[in-house]
Structure 1
Amino acid sequence: MERKPFRFKQFSVSDHRSAMKVNTDGVLLGAWASLPDSGTVLDIGTGSGIIALIMAQKGAEKVIAIDIHEASAIEAAQNFKDSRWNDKLQSRWISFHGFIQSNTQTFSAIVCNPPFFAKSLLSGDPEKNLVKHEQQLGFTSLMEGVSNRLSADGSFACIIPSNRSEELEQIASSLFLFCHRKTGVIPKAGKPVFRVMFEFRGFEPLTRQENCLIIRDLNNNYTPEYKKLTKEFYLEF
């Protein structure tokens, strides 16, 4: 049975064919990521296209969204076609490695909600393994590709589990990518950080911004900070 489309304030997203479903991580990253003044945004592992659509709503000139999973790329293309930003959005069925090998384009911003299960047991679903486990795109390969395709003043934003944040920063530093912003995501007041959002650039920051974002308070209500970040997208806000 097909799932009903997720409806946001300015677009809808179908994800029944995508291996990566619409989730809080994707919405958070899209809302949090910096928008370049001009140029093209690259969305690596777009899934249903949710992050690309958010970047388009925020005013991106052009967004190229790629995915190694064919059905996801096809579904993202349909979601883009059905949106008001059809002329700005492009979906391609291709791996990140294949993409960077096939062209030399650089990007003003790159966004990615990457596969991050490195040591976990694989599931019985090969499609989920493809998008959630590092079989095809590990952190080192990802960051090497980003360092080669990010423009001189461009930014790379990603969201990962907190227990792998130090590893990612070390890899980035070895490639001369420097953290300018870092936000720890807390699911509920009193709980520990479970996700970290990073913004890297190819030059050192004058000051590094670090903070935490709590999604729900002790009464299980959405916090004002979370609402402020996502209010342009979620219907309920």
Structure 2
Amino acid sequence: MPNDYFQFKQFLVEQDKCAMKVCTDSCVFGAYINVAGAQRVLDIGAGTGLLSLMVAQRSEALVDAVEIHPDAQAQATENFAASPWAERLRLHPMPLQQYAPRQPYEVILSNPPFFLASLKSDSAAKNSARHTGDLHFGDILLFAQRHLTSTGNLYLLLPPAEAAHFQKAAQAYGLYLSETVEVFTYINGKCIRHIQTYGFAPEDSPVTKQLYIREADKVTYTPEFVELLQPYYLHL
């Protein structure tokens, strides 16, 4: 069983109240997002608050986080308050559809519920966190269309099939894929996630990169992974 907490170099993530725990692909996502120069960042579906904390560590941005589920709201609030960046982290306990910010964001990010059609588990909380029931792709896209700055970026972490679906849906909202990072479990292994970057400028040839978490031996972290996560992981 996962631990009730996950200790990073500069902050602690308590996770006993949340259905979805800290996982490697989420950490890769949080470390990859470009927040250089951003003044306002929004995390859609905060969960434990992991992604908000990761971007707060390496920016001076005000980070807002929206979360609908009471247990996750309480967990993220506790984790924000205990962090070194408490004054820059704000949890909004409401559905995204009801959130109306006064100012736009340079960066919007989300590790959303992503299974469009798959078997559900016996846990209602885990189903809600994993499946597109409370938060649909169209909700994220409509919000980004309205509240992302003209030069801002929307970042998504999705499995490959759902990422392709999101890319097609995004064009109807005037948002275009500029980059995909294909995240693999290990060299010659399976691609488990896509990190997608969207903006308002159409891209004829979106950039595609590969990131491998471990070497072909399935044990050793790759240099790229170590460089990305070294600011966060205790033993890197």
TM-score after normalising by structure 2: 0.94
**Matching residue's letter, 1:69:** H
Q: Any gaps of 5 or more consecutive residues in structure 1? A: none
Alpha-carbon distance between aligned partners in 1 of 2:48 and 2:24, rounded to the nearest angstrom:
13
Q: Counterpart in 2 of 1:61? A: 61
* Contact preservation (8 Å) 1:115, 1:131: yes
- Cα deviation, 1:206-227, whole Å, max 9, x if unaligned, reads 8632110011111121111111
Q: Secondary structure at the match of 2:212?
A: strand
Amino acid in structure 2 at the alignment position of 1:90: R
1:104 Cα shift? 4.6
Correspondence for 1:222? 221
| Higher mean C-alpha deviation, range 176-185 or range 40-49 | 176-185
Please tell me the residue identity of whatever aligns with 1:33.
Answer: I
Deviation at 1:205, TM superposition (A): 4.6
For 1:114, which of 112, 115, 118 is the aligned residue?
Answer: 112
RMSD in angstroms over aligned alpha carbons? 1.8
Residue deviations 1:118-147 (CA, integer Å, cap 9, x gap): 111332211111111111112222212222
Distance 2:18 2:60 in 1: 23
Give the aligned length: 235
Most deviating of 207-216 and 181-190: 207-216
Q: Report the AA paired with residue 168 of structure 2.
A: Q
Letter in 2 for 1:229: L
How far 1:189 moved relative to its partner? 1.4
Q: Is the 8 A contact 1:36 1:109 kept in 2?
A: no
Q: Distance in 1 between matches of 2:37 and 2:177?
A: 20
- The equivalent of 1:17 in structure 2 is 17
Give the aligned partner of residue 84 of structure 1. Answer: 84
CA distance in 1, matches of 2:198, 2:83: 29
Given the alignment of the two structures, is residue 189 of structure 1 paired with residue 182 of structure 2, yes or no? no
Pick the aligned partner of 1:151 from 134, 149, 152.
Answer: 149
2:172 is aligned to 174
Give the match for residue 42 of structure 2: 42
Q: Distance in 2 between matches of 1:235 and 1:28?
A: 15
- AA aligned opposite 1:224: P
Structure 1 runs of 4+ aligned residues shifted over 3 Å read 1-4, 102-105, 205-208
**1:155 and 1:2, CA in 2 relative to 1: closer, same or farther beyond 3 A?**
closer
Alpha-carbon offset, residue 33 of structure 1: 0.7
The residue type equivalent to 2:207 in the other structure is Q
Gaps of 5+ in 2: none
Letter of the aligned partner of 1:177 in structure 2? Answer: L
- 3-state DSSP of counterpart to 1:194: strand
- Residue of structure 2 in register with 1:160 after alignment: 158
- 1:40 is displaced (CA, Å) by 1.0
Check the 8 A contact 1:36/1:154 in 2, yes or no. Answer: no
Q: Give 2:198's aligned residue.
A: 200
- Cα distance change, pair 121–2 in 1 and its aligned pair in 2 (3 A): closer
| Alpha-carbon distance in structure 2 between the residues aligned to 1:163 and 1:207 | 19
Hey, what's the Cα distance between the residues in 2 that align with 1:159 and 1:3? 23
Q: Structure 1 48/219 Cα, relative in aligned 2: closer, same or farther at 3 Å?
A: same
Deviation at 1:155, TM superposition (A): 0.7
What do residues 180-207 of structure 1 show as CA deviations (whole Å, max 9, x unaligned)? 2210011011123121000101113586
- TM-superposed deviation, 1:38: 3.3
Q: Which residue of 1 aligns with 2:93?
A: 93
TM-fit CA distance, 1:105 = 3.2
Letter in 1 for 2:226: K
What CA distance in whole angstroms lies between the structure 2 residues aligned with 1:94 and 1:19? 18
Q: Compare 140-149 and 44-53 and name the one that shifted more.
A: 140-149
